[in-house]
Chains A and B, each alone.
Chain A
Amino acid sequence: MADTAVGATTEPEHGGDPSRRDFIHIAAVAAAAGGGAALVWPFIDQMNPSADTRALASTEFDLTKVAEGQQVTIKWRGKPLFVRNRTKAEIAKAVADDSAAMKDPATDASRVKPGKDNWLIVGGNCTHLGCVPTFGGGEYGGWFCPCHGSVYDTSGRIRKGPAPTNLVVPDYAFLTDTKVKIG
C-alpha cells in the first residue's frame, strides 16, 4: 500500500491511519537501507591496502653505491624507483629543455633537491599504464617505455607518447650527503 496518499480523503478501512502506516513503511525502509549501506562499506574497504601494507611506507638508501652516469633500481612500496646519478651532460640537456613545449611543464630544478642536481630520484613506472621504462631509449636521452612508446627526457619529463604526466618524484630527503630517506 505504498501508493496510499498521505492525508487521503477516503475513509481508511479497518480504522487504520494511513499517515501513521506510511510513516512506519518509510522508517522501516530507511532503517534497512541505512543498515545495508553501513554494512556495504566494510565489504568494499576490506580491499583497500591493509595496515601492514601501509606500514611499509619509507625506505633509506645509500647513494655511494651509484657511480656517476649509473642508475640503480630499488623497490619501494612494491614498485621500482630509479635512483640516477646524472652526468654533467644529462643535467645540461635537461636544463636546456626547461622552456621547451611539454605536456607536463616542469623545470629540471623543481625535480631535484637544491645543490644535489646530479641525483634524480623518480618512480620507475610509466605514468601511462605502469610499465617500467628503460633508460637510454628514445630521442630525448632519457627513458623509453616499451609498452606504448612513451619517451621521457633526462629529467624524467614526458616528451612524447601517451603518458599524461612526468615520472613521479617521490617525497624524499637527504639524511646526510650520501644517504636519502624515501617516503
Chain B
Amino acid sequence: MSGHSTYQPKTGIERWLDARLPIVRLGYDSFVDYPTPRNLNYWWTFGGILSLCLASQLITGIILVMHYNPSAQGAFASVEHIMRDVNYGWLIRYMHANGASMFFIAVYIHMLRGLYYGSYKAPREVLWLLGCVIYLLMMATAFMGYVLPWGQMSFHGAVVITNLFGALPLVGESITTWLWGGFAVDNPTLNRFFSLHYLLPFMIAGVVILHIWALHVVGQNNPTGVDPKSKADTVPFTPYATVKDGFAMSVFLILFAFFVFYMPNALGHADNYVEANPLVTPSHIVPEWYFLPFYAILRAVPDKLMGVLAMFGAIACLFALPWLDTSKVRSMRYRPTAKIYFVFFLVVCIILGFCGAKLPDDPVIPHLTTFQLMGSDLNSFVWLSRVASLYYFAFFLVVLPVLGLVEKTLPVPDSIASPALSADAKKG
C-alpha cells in the first residue's frame, strides 16, 4: 500500500526539510493519508492501544530506575522506598506493574483477532512472525521485570524459570550456572536481569517499527479478509482510524486506571511483599496470570524435559501458524466450522490459565475421588490440563491443517464495499 505520496509541503520550512529529510512526508503517508479498509471493527484498535502500553511502560520504567537499587541487598527496600517515600512513587510503580498486565490483555486480544480473521495468511506471514518475536520479547521482559522487586515470588519464580533450561540434556547445568552467574539465583542474576529488563523494551520498540513497516507494505487485513480493490473499499487513516483508535484508547485507559487506583494488587501475589528468602519456597508458587496457560502445559507433562519442550512448543505453534492453516479463506467469518473450533480454543486457553493457578493434584470437582491414572487422580487439575493441552496442540497441528482442506466455506464477498452496497441497494 506504499503507493504514490500525496504530501504537499505548505510552508517554506516544510519544503526545505522535505528535500533533506522527508520525515513529515513519512508521517503524513503513514498516519494521515494512509488508506485503511473501511470496515475495520474495534478489534483493530488494539495495535494503537499496544503502542500506548509500550510508551507507558517505557516512561514509567525509566522513572522507576531513577529510584531503584539493583542489588540483592537493596532491591526490596528500594521498591518499598518508591512505594512509601518517593513523591508519587506509588502511582508510577502501580502504573508500571499493572501496565504489564494491561499490555498482555491487549496483546492477547490483538493475537486472537489475528487468529480469527486470518491476519497471518499470505502475504502477511512476516508481519505475523514479527508479532510473535515481539510477544517473545514481551514475555522475557515481563519475567525479568517481575524478578526485580526481589520478593519471594520474584526469587522463586526466577529459580523455577531458569531451572527450565536445566532440563536440556548435557548442556542444561552449564546453561543455568551461566544464566545465574553463580551456583544459585543471587545478586549477579538480579543485576543481569535488571540490565536486560532495561534493554529489551527498546528491542521491542525496534521490532514494532519493523512490524508497522511490514504492515504498511502488505496493508491491513479486515473483517472480510478480502483485500481492498478500489478507493471505495478504503478510507484515509486520519480522521477515521485515528479517532476510532483514540476512542478505544480512552476506554482502555479507564480499565487501566480502574486497576491502578482501585485494585492495584489484584493481579499480583501477596507473597511478593515478603523479601526473597532462598531457604523457603512459598507454599503455592504461581507465575503472573499471563503465563498461566503455558505453566499449566508445563505441569501437564510428568517428565521434566518433555514438559519444558511442550511449553516452548506451545509458543512455537504460533510461529508456524501461517504454514499450518491450509484454508484459502482468510476470515473465519466465512468459515462456520473453524469458528466453532476457534471458540473451543478460546475456552481451552482460559481453562489452561485456570489450571495453571491451581495446585496440580487438587480435585476439579470437590470431594470426588475417581481412579488413579499416570500417578494422579482423574478428577484433578493436572488431568484437566492434560486434556486442555491436548486440544491446544490439536487445534494448531490437526484442526487447522485438515479443516482447511475439507471445510465447506461460505461465499466470500467480491470486495469490501460490495456487501454493504448490495445491502443498501436492497433497501433502496
**Are A129 and B177 in contact, with the CB atoms below 8 A?**
no
Contact of B307 among A77, A133, A162 (CB under 8 A): A162
Q: Which 9 interchain pairs have the tightest Cβ spacing?
A: A78-B184, A77-B183, A129-B163, A131-B281, A130-B163, A132-B281, A129-B160, A130-B159, A79-B184
Closest to A80 in B: B279
Q: A interface, by DSSP: helix, strand, loop or mixed? A: loop
**Are B285 and A131 in contact, with the CB atoms below 8 A?**
yes
Interface residues of A in 150-176 (CB under 8 A from B): 160-164
Which residues of A approach B to under 8 Å, CB–CB?
A: 44, 47-50, 53, 73, 75, 77-80, 124-125, 128-134, 145-149, 160-164
**Are A47 and B279 in contact, with the CB atoms below 8 A?**
no
Which residues of A have CB within 8 Å of B375?
Answer: 160-161
Contact of B304 among A128, A131, A145 (CB under 8 A): A128
Which residues of B approach A to under 8 Å, CB–CB?
A: 156, 159-160, 162-164, 166, 177-186, 188, 192, 278-285, 299, 301-305, 307, 359-361, 375, 382
**Are A79 and B183 in contact, with the CB atoms below 8 A?**
yes
Given A47-B192, A146-B281, A149-B361, the answer on whether A129 and B164 have CB atoms closer than 8 Å is yes
Least CB distance from A3 to B in Å reads 28
**Are A75 and B279 in contact, with the CB atoms below 8 A?**
yes
Which residues of A have CB within 8 Å of B156?
Answer: 131, 147
Which residues of A have CB within 8 Å of B280?
Answer: 132
Least CB distance from A101 to B in Å reads 12
Docked CA distance A124–B184 (Å): 12
Which residues of B have CB within 8 Å of A160?
Answer: 375
Given A47-B192, A163-B304, the answer on whether A77 and B184 have CB atoms closer than 8 Å is yes
Given A77-B183, A80-B279, the answer on whether A131 and B159 have CB atoms closer than 8 Å is yes
Docked CA distance A130–B226 (Å): 51
**Are B183 and A131 in contact, with the CB atoms below 8 A?**
no
**Are A49 and B283 in contact, with the CB atoms below 8 A?**
no
Least CB distance from A56 to B in Å reads 9
Least CB distance from A52 to B in Å reads 10
**Are A149 and B281 in contact, with the CB atoms below 8 A?**
no
**Are B178 and A48 in contact, with the CB atoms below 8 A?**
yes
